Amino acid sequence: MEADITTQAVGLASNTDFSIITLFLRADIIVKSVIIILIASSVYSWAIIFDKIRLFRKINKSSEEFEEKFWKSKSAETFYNSLPSNIEDPMALVFKGSMQTVMKSRSKSNLSERLTSILEVNIEKQMNVIDKNYTFLATVGSTAPFIGLFGTVWGIMNSFQSIAISRNTSLAIVAPGIAEALFATALGLLAAIPAVVAFNKFNSDSKKYTQRLENFSKRFISII
């Protein structure tokens, strides 16, 4: 009799343990899969966020320095010849790629039109590098809540199954499944909210930087 009471007490104690690790270990394979997907998505999203923050700080600073040196130079050709071979700034790469085409071109007719097309292609090429992984952030922001909701629905279904099997509507019976369900929902929001905020922020930064490249291109064409 005492052994039965002790066993019940231990089982009740384990059911009332709602720590994150316990919730994960107690969940079935479907809910565990949902939790793993959401945690992995969140970790990768934060890796992208920190990388983009570092990238925009770097290119804004390097582009500002490039423009300052460019407008102080005697000529575009002289400045082009002084550029290092390992330059990484997107604006400098746009200028370098465009100057290479201009200097290799034998015909000077319609130079302005051809240079405009070349600059547009080079700007698009650089922005594709900068905008890399934006799609992942947008995907996580739009799908993570629904993935978490799927885990929620599955957890609630497990709770109803526990009620049907035990024929007991006690909160101790349904609480573990409900806790797993709510945990999946929370993880979905935890992954989605930073991804959406970061995507909107970086998308705005990309548009500003694109405008900066286009403004430089227009002034560059005017002096060529």
Q: Is there a domain that residue 12 lies in?
A: no
Q: What is the pLDDT of residue 15?
A: 52
Q: Is there a domain that residue 8 lies in?
A: no
Q: Which domain holds residue 188?
A: 27-223
Q: Is there a domain that residue 196 lies in?
A: yes
For each successive 10 residues of the chain (224 residues), what is the average pLDDT?
A: 38 52 74 89 96 95 92 84 87 89 71 84 93 94 92 80 68 68 87 95 95 91 79
Question: Could you tell me which of 139, 146, 141, 144 has the C-alpha nearest to residue 196?
Answer: 141
Q: Is there a domain that residue 17 lies in?
A: no
Domain total of the chain: 1
Q: What is the pLDDT of residue 115?
A: 85
Q: Is there a domain that residue 6 lies in?
A: no
Q: What is the pLDDT of residue 81?
A: 85
Q: Is there a domain that residue 13 lies in?
A: no
Distances (CA, A) of 87 to 16, 58, 66, 134, 155: 59, 13, 10, 24, 53
Q: Is there a domain that residue 21 lies in?
A: no
